[in-house]
Amino acid sequence: MPKNIDEQKTFRRMNVSAFFESQVIHDRKDRPKYNERYTASFKKAFADLVEKRYDESPKSFKKLKRKCFQWLLYEEFVFYCKAFGVRMDEETMAKAFKFGARKFKSFLLAVERKLPKSKLAAKSYAEFTAFRDRENEYAGYEVKNIAVCATMSAGKSTFVNALLGSDVLPSRNEATTAKITSVYDKDGAEKTIGFVQKDSGAVVDKCSDVNLAKLNEWNDSNEINRIFLQGDLDGIRNKDMIVAVHDTPGTNNSGDKSHHTTTINFLKENKMDAIIYVANATQLCTTDEKLLLAELFRKVIKPIGIPVIFVLNKADDLDTEKENVSDVVKRYSSYLAEFGFASPVVFPLSSKAARLLKMTQNGKAGNMTAKEARAFNVIKEQFNDVASTGINAVEDYIENLF
């Protein structure tokens, strides 16, 4: 297993960098011509400070001309230094701005008292402080770890995509998850960001807008051991905590036994707060599933005593004219009890339907393929209850679990 990494620090730095790269310094009337001019000057001064071009920084600092933007530059640079662990005491900061000690104290006083009242910098300052406060609040949340386990092709990745409300993780009718892929919930995140780690613990690639192609690239690389993502699990709120969902490789890939070892070792070596077991409702009680359930209970669940949530995925594929969904749940609950899972919590749902339903709710219906659009028209009429109530029930249960 790779060395431990502070994934939250890495995500924080990615978010901070993205904010400063995309930030607009606004004119009072928000006129594009002036916005572009102010933004270019501000970013040049900011870059000089970040790159420690202290011979250049006083010149670019003065070119800002407007004192309110100079105050804002200082405030933002202080935040940047804290996020990236850059040690800049008052004396070093004064040198970077080419201030004498007395003049620098007067400057700091103006930053504290005048910047919040500046009309010209009001919009830019408000955007920065809102971002800073969100990041600082998020940094104080406790992480709750949930592993998603299953035999191959039970629909784990589709289930995680349903939680995300977008198509991020690859899902095909074959072994697609080769590595532990961890998704950390962040309310309001407009994009999914991510980075990957080698066996040595080194971060070897980052992406500010992860898509399916990038995930496939990372998943297929022999150089990569772990994949870390941060995005909005849109049915789960932070509520003073960060829910991290860890998608594990299917354990019964006959072509690659390392998938089984990767999953079991991850669960044994990393303290999980809960496990979600995804079962294929149309292929229950197989030999592979029996082996996995027995090993999970013996090696992970019983020694640690963590809660398990069972998801009966692909419930929309059941022939309800021959068998009632509630009867399937009862039989499966009795089956689980044989392995030692007392009073198991079982949710029937269709991850595929839930994913498509959320895509329409999130304005992403245009991302559906023609086949998915046709399937959704049938799903929303016949299985809407299984899709929406099922995934919502799982999300509510996760929130209330902690």
Is the CB of residue 242 less than 8 Å from the CB of residue 143? Answer: yes
pLDDT grade, residue 170 (50/70/90)?
Answer: low
Interval 116-150: pLDDT, tens:
999 999 999 999 999 999 999 999 999 999 999 99
**In a shared domain, residues 150 and 112:** no
Tell which wins on pLDDT, 363 or 183. 183
Distance between start and end Cα atoms, the chain:
28
Interval 87-111: pLDDT, tens:
888 888 888 888 888 899 999 999 9
**In a shared domain, residues 119 and 185:** no
Q: Quick one: which of 231, 226, 216, 297 has its CA closest to 264?
A: 297
Interval 301-329: pLDDT, tens:
988 889 999 999 988 888 777 888 889 99
pLDDT grade, residue 389 (50/70/90)?
Answer: low
CA dist 105 and 315 (Å) reads: 67
Tell which wins on pLDDT, 46 or 249. 46
pLDDT grade, residue 171 (50/70/90)?
Answer: low
**In a shared domain, residues 102 and 173:** no
Q: 69-93 burial string, b = 16+ CB within 10 Å, else e?
A: bbbbbbbbbebbbebeeeebeeeeb
Range of the domain at 345: 142-401
Is the CB of residue 362 less than 8 Å from the CB of residue 234? Answer: yes
Using the predicted structure, report yes or no on whether residue 363 has a pLDDT greater than 80: no
pLDDT grade, residue 252 (50/70/90)?
Answer: low
pLDDT at 82: 95
DSSP SS3 for 275: strand
Percent of the chain with pLDDT over 90: 51
**In a shared domain, residues 379 and 279:** yes
Using only C-alpha atoms, the chain has a radius of gyration, in whole angstroms, of 25
Q: Quick one: which of 77, 27, 23, 25 has its CA closest to 47?
A: 77
pLDDT grade, residue 2 (50/70/90)?
Answer: very low
> Which of 14-23, 204-213, 282-291, 353-362 shows the lowest mean pLDDT across its residues?
353-362
Domain boundary among 138, 157, 176: 138
**In a shared domain, residues 209 and 281:** yes
The average pLDDT across 250-276 equals 77
The domain that holds 233 is classified in CATH as 3.40.50.300
Using the predicted structure, report yes or no on whether residue 177 has a pLDDT greater than 70: no
Q: Which long-range contacts (CB under 8 A, 24 or more apart) does 103-112 make?
A: 107/70, 107/71, 107/74, 108/74, 110/67, 110/71, 111/71, 111/74, 111/75
**In a shared domain, residues 20 and 69:** yes
Q: Quick one: which of 125, 129, 136 has its CA closest to 66?
A: 125
Q: How many domains does the chain have?
A: 2
pLDDT at 399: 87
Is the CB of residue 34 less than 8 Å from the CB of residue 27? Answer: yes
pLDDT grade, residue 352 (50/70/90)?
Answer: confident
Average confidence score pLDDT of the chain: 87
Torsion of CA 318, 393, 242, 166, to 10 degrees: 50
**In a shared domain, residues 128 and 259:** no
The average pLDDT across 367-378 equals 77
**In a shared domain, residues 133 and 48:** yes
Interval 59-69: pLDDT, tens:
999 999 899 99
Using the predicted structure, report yes or no on whether residue 21 has a pLDDT greater than 60: yes
**In a shared domain, residues 131 and 190:** no
pLDDT at 254: 44
pLDDT at 124: 97
Residue 1 lies in a domain: no
pLDDT at 176: 52
Residue 119 lies in a domain: yes
Using the predicted structure, report yes or no on whether residue 353 has a pLDDT greater than 60: yes
